[in-house]
Chains A and B, each alone.
Chain A
Amino acid sequence: MEMNRKNRLLFGLVAVAALLLVKLFYIQIINDKYKRDASNNSMVYNYIYPPRGVIYDRNGEILVGNEVCYDIAVTPRDVAPFDTLALAEALGVEADFIRERMAYYRKYRTRIGWQTLTLLKHIPQENYIRFIEESYRFPGFKAEVRSVRQYPFNAGGNLLGYISEVDADFIKNHPDYRSGDYVGKTGLEAAREADLRGVKGYHIYLRDSRNRVQSPYKDGEEDKEAEPGKDVVSTIDAHLQQYGQQLMAGKVGSVVAIEPSTGEILAMVSSPGIDVDVLSDIGKHYGEISRDPRKPMFNRTVMASYPPGSVFKLINGLIGLQEGVLQPSNMYPCNYGFPYGNNRRLGCHGHASPLNLLSAIATSCNGYFCYVFRNILDNKKYKNTAEALDVWREYVQSFGFGRKLGSDFPSELGGNIPTSAFYDKIYGKGAWRFQTVISLSIGQGEIGATPLQIANLAAIMANRGYYYIPHIVKDSDGIEIDPKYKERQYTMVDTTHFHTAVEGMYMAVNGGGSAGGTAFSARIPGLDVCGKTGTAQNPHGKDNSVFICFAPKDNPKIAVAAYVENAGFGATWALPVASLMLEKYLNGEISPERQYMEDRMMTTRFF
């Protein structure tokens, strides 16, 4: 083709047309962005919220259910002049409230645009019905039905946790949530969020550029129905949980009960806790809860770190046996304590002396366990005290202390077991000895344990040497729990050594007052209770009271740990709580001769 001017112009024409087509090809076929934008533009997703899964207790009682509630929403742009008084009356609010809101919407109208906002939450059903009847008078306002959490039992506020509407920060980190969704924030609600949540459904409508809904998209072909959340069966026994809360009323502390043969947590009480009626409307009470000096939101059972006190003697005794530095028959003297140089003495109470391991456990002799711990740390097998301490620490960790247990409960903490490096740092390398860390002999000093860990110790004793990771959700139709909860976790101490210790615990309860048993009031005829008291020194005030127990001695069904802060001797406060829990669970009721104990617990309040 000759390149005359006509042809050049034709060529230019074709080139420009090609340019247009290339750009069209790009935006229509290569780039997806415009298709996405188009659906954002013209489709309205009307979400259908699935009912959140129900939480059952181990016996099929509903711990957390759902209940319908009513909100009033408003699209300010659609609001036509209306009778403020009539609306206020229908909704059961002050007319000034409505005026104030409308003034607010007017002020920020450009920012609000065509959005729909929630005007009122949780209005009573009668107001909802009145509003529905008269709603034609209030264009732009509409009622929305929502489901909220409902709690048939006042049991396990902290344990169950609460749900709340997601905020902007949360959405930023969790793109699959949208504004208006609810999410479990604490407790079981948070731990099983993925199951409980369900899958939102939606109906797609087409809208025009002014946000007016026009028609269902593709006649509803692409719509999705909501999938209800899965129900969760908890290991909790609702009645036991509730009973534990009643016993702990007015006291600060925790009670944890575990089924030793499975590791299932039967009850988990943190006191003071949150009442369930606060849970369903947490937003309203949040301020008052967070200002409470006793921190009801703080779940002591898994987050507090207490010195375990005398119950820890069991572990030291067992380690001594396993390391071969202690024989059950070894006798040590104890004359009101253990002297350790410079006229210092780790005190003890009055009991027979000298005594063997069994009696030492039964009487909770401090002096005896100082000898035991000395034997452990001064073991010739190891280069020095530091190395021996680290071996000891490994043993202790195998009992589930000083680390997270790996429970399925959120925000679990691990407590603390000191390392040799820790003491090196304080006292200088090699500049500390057994005498320096002597408090560890009796579970004091730099040890911190959570009530869950202490309860787990009770389960280990019950199982004679192993435990299942304590957990709070059971297998059920929809949910299979992590297999790790079904595996035995062995301690580093052989089963044979446990028999002596368990015998000591049995003696403590059943040995009779004359034998010096510290826990004789925990005796329940026919139940073969084994227990160990503890009185942990508390730098902040009165001693903390600790008690662990399990029953029956053979084939135990329940292990309980109670920890009452600033309450004095373990035998006085923690023991009744734990022992009553045990009796209630195993017998279903409290025997008449122990009724006084229950009365005392229910009526005594420290705050």
Chain B
Amino acid sequence: MPGSFDRGLGKTVDWWLVGCYLLLLLIGWLNIYASIHSTEPASIFDWSARSGKQAIWMLTAFALDLLILFVIHPRLWEVLSPYAYIGVFFLLVLVIFVSRDVKGSHSWFELGPVKFQPAEISKITTSLLLAAVMSKPAFRLTNRRHFLWVAAIIGLPMLAILGESETGSALVYVGFIFVLYREGLSGWWLFLMGMAILLFILTLIAPGWVPVAVLLAVCLGYFLQVLRNSRREERVRRRTALTRTVLAFLAGVMVVFATDFVFNNVLQDHQRKRIEVLLGLKEDPAGVGYNVRQSMIAIGSGGFSGKGYLQGTQTTYGFVPEQSTDFIFCTVGEEWGFLGCLAVILLYVFMIWRIITDADKSRESFTRIYGYCLAACLFMHLFINIGMTIGLMPVIGIPLPLLSYGGSSLWAFSVMLFIFISLDRQEKKYF
């Protein structure tokens, strides 16, 4: 059957994803230029400016993309994943000790003019190893030993990154729970996680009895549900349900009490302040609140259709700090308005949607799990980053994938995405 074994590029590469990728890069690049643009505009290709540098990062990323797509055999990723994981983990730990303090975090390697952040690559290696381990035929999430392996694969780099004081990047790893959910983890875990976050917030913003009451209501609701759905004879089931309810309630109460302790003793000062500002517990317009306030002013002032490209007053005159990196979305919001924000968010949603559907269709567990990992990472970045710029999330410094200025992040997401495209292509070649 000629042709069936080696279908052409046009049929095998998911061009939709490539299109989204290129479009997001272009949007990012234009907005980076806008965010550094001031009244005396330099050329967008000025190599000493950020837009110029980003152009270089983009060109090198394209080279990497082509390399992954045409040179490296997709099978190699699975084979290499343990070594890559261990190597990167080593770098994650090493960086804590050798790096310079940059705003309190120790996450950058500096080799002459080149700087890079192992935490960005770690997302790829973790995803690869996770996919490799979980796609083994004998793997069962319900097996406690297997589950612990998975927890370790996710948890170790997360801890190392927390050690670098890069809370934001560490938080991204929480997204892997969605992958585990897809692979059979009980929905209860998601529910419990949601409850824990809810209780945490309620404890901070409401009087003490509110979280306890909510907890009680949820536990009783669960128990009554079980009672209704079970027949009298199913004593065991009912007894388990009762035990679970009581345990869950106790655990919840512990969360409530732990919140105070964690909030005041575990979190660092700046993290505590950011959460306080987000929840409206404290006003701090000049300090921690400054970023968010300025960011919301920039986005809010954009209105429906924005002030026009390079016309943003907040953007052009540098009211928003970190505007080309973590707060790049402000430029979109101010200059392109709600329409621009809608377009960018839809583009991301489409891309993640496409990755998930591609992954789900795949006959290779490795490809599927890896695809979900990629989708989860993109999703977490998207939600945390945009949420932060519009005051839905505390200020957590992570980049907006493909849009934010920065080589490490751009390379990492390019590589991560093209590994998936390559895996997906491999699949389509043969089926």
Contact = CB atoms under 8 A, between A and B. Distances in A.
Interface of A: 5-6, 9-10, 12-14, 16-17, 19-21, 23-25, 27-29, 31, 33-35, 37-39, 41-43, 206-210, 214-215, 217
Contacts of B293: 37
In the complex, the 6 A-B pairs of residues with the closest C-beta atoms, listed nearest first: A34-B300, A38-B301, A208-B317, A42-B313, A27-B300, A28-B338
A6 B356 contact: yes
B367 to A, nearest CB: 14
Interface stretch (B23-31, B150-158, B385-393): B385-393
B115 interface: no
A9 B376 CA distance: 10
Q: How large is the interface on B (under 10, 10 to 19, 20 to 34, 35 or more residues)?
A: 35 or more
A28 B312 CA distance: 14
A431 B352 CA distance: 100
Interface stretch (B65-73, B99-107, B341-349): B341-349
B333 A24 contact: yes
Contacts of B314: 38, 41-42
A21 B392 contact: no
B296 interface: yes
A206 B297 CA distance: 16
B297 to A, nearest CB: 5
B341 A14 contact: no
A27 B386 contact: no
Contact of B38 (A17, A24, A214): A214
Contacts of B317: 42, 206-209, 214
Given A9-B178, A21-B342, A42-B319, A27 B379 contact: no
Given A34-B297, A37-B297, A23 B390 contact: yes
B386 A6 contact: no
Nearest to A32: B300
B182 A5 contact: yes
B92 interface: no
Contact of A41 (B297, B341, B357): B297
B120 interface: no
Residue among A5, A19, A39, A207 with the most chain B CB within 10 A? Answer: A5
Contact of B390 (A5, A24, A39, A210): A24
12 contacts: A9-B182, A12-B178, A17-B345, A19-B392, A34-B297, A34-B301, A39-B313, A42-B317, A206-B316, A208-B316, A210-B318, A214-B39
A13 B357 CA distance: 13
A406 B342 CA distance: 63
Nearest to B317: A208
Contacts of A13: 349, 352-353, 356, 379
A37 B301 contact: yes
A24 B297 contact: no
B299 interface: yes
B400 to A, nearest CB: 12
Contacts of B338: 24-25, 28-29
A208 B312 CA distance: 12
A37 to B, nearest CB: 5
Given A19-B392, A42-B319, A206 B304 contact: no
B313 A10 contact: no
Nearest to B290: A209
Given A20-B345, A20-B383, A20-B392, A35 B318 contact: no
B123 to A, nearest CB: 18
A217 B307 CA distance: 13
Contacts of A42: 313-314, 317, 319
Interface string B280-300: 000000000000011011111
Contact of B181 (A9, A10, A14): A9
Interface in B68-92: none
B99 to A, nearest CB: 29
A29 B319 CA distance: 21
B345 A5 contact: no
A31 B313 CA distance: 18
Nearest to B182: A5
A28 B339 CA distance: 10
Nearest to A36: B301
Given A17-B345, A43-B313, A206-B316, 17 more contacts: A6-B357, A9-B181, A13-B356, A16-B383, A17-B346, A17-B349, A19-B392, A20-B345, A21-B345, A27-B296, A27-B390, A28-B333, A33-B300, A39-B301, A41-B314, A208-B319, A210-B318
Contact of A34 (B181, B296, B337): B296
A183 to B, nearest CB: 31
A211 to B, nearest CB: 10
B397 interface: no
B427 interface: no
B360 interface: yes
B386 A20 contact: yes
B301 A35 contact: yes
A243 B87 CA distance: 102
A31 B300 contact: yes
Contacts of A35: 300-301, 303
Given A13-B379, A37-B297, A28 B353 contact: no
A21 B387 CA distance: 10
A204 to B, nearest CB: 11
Given A33-B300, A38-B297, A24 B341 contact: yes
A115 B144 CA distance: 65
B313 A206 contact: yes
Contacts of B346: 17
A38 B313 contact: yes
A34 B390 CA distance: 12
A34 B319 CA distance: 13
B252 interface: no
A208 B337 contact: no
Contacts of B407: none
Contacts of A16: 379, 383
B302 interface: yes
A209 B318 contact: yes
Contacts of B178: 9, 12
A39 B345 CA distance: 27
B309 to A, nearest CB: 16
B184 to A, nearest CB: 8
Contacts of B390: 20, 23-24, 27
Contacts of B357: 6
A217 B353 CA distance: 43
B381 to A, nearest CB: 12
Looking at B297, B338, B348, which has the most chain A CB atoms within 10 Å of its CB? B297
A16 to B, nearest CB: 5
Interface string B322-355: 0000000000010001100110011011001100
Contacts of B296: 27, 34
Contacts of B352: 13
Contacts of B301: 34-35, 37-39
A9 B185 CA distance: 13
A29 B303 contact: yes
Contacts of B341: 21, 24, 28
Contacts of B345: 17, 20-21
Nearest to B341: A24
A217 B311 CA distance: 11
A138 to B, nearest CB: 26
A6 B356 CA distance: 8
Contacts of B387: 20
Contacts of A217: 313
A191 to B, nearest CB: 42
Nearest to A212: B317
Contacts of A206: 39, 313, 316-317
Contacts of B316: 206, 208, 214
A214 B294 CA distance: 19
A76 to B, nearest CB: 19
Q: Which of A21, A42, A207 has the most CB of B within 10 A?
A: A42
Contacts of B379: 13, 16
A28 B304 contact: yes
A23 B383 CA distance: 12
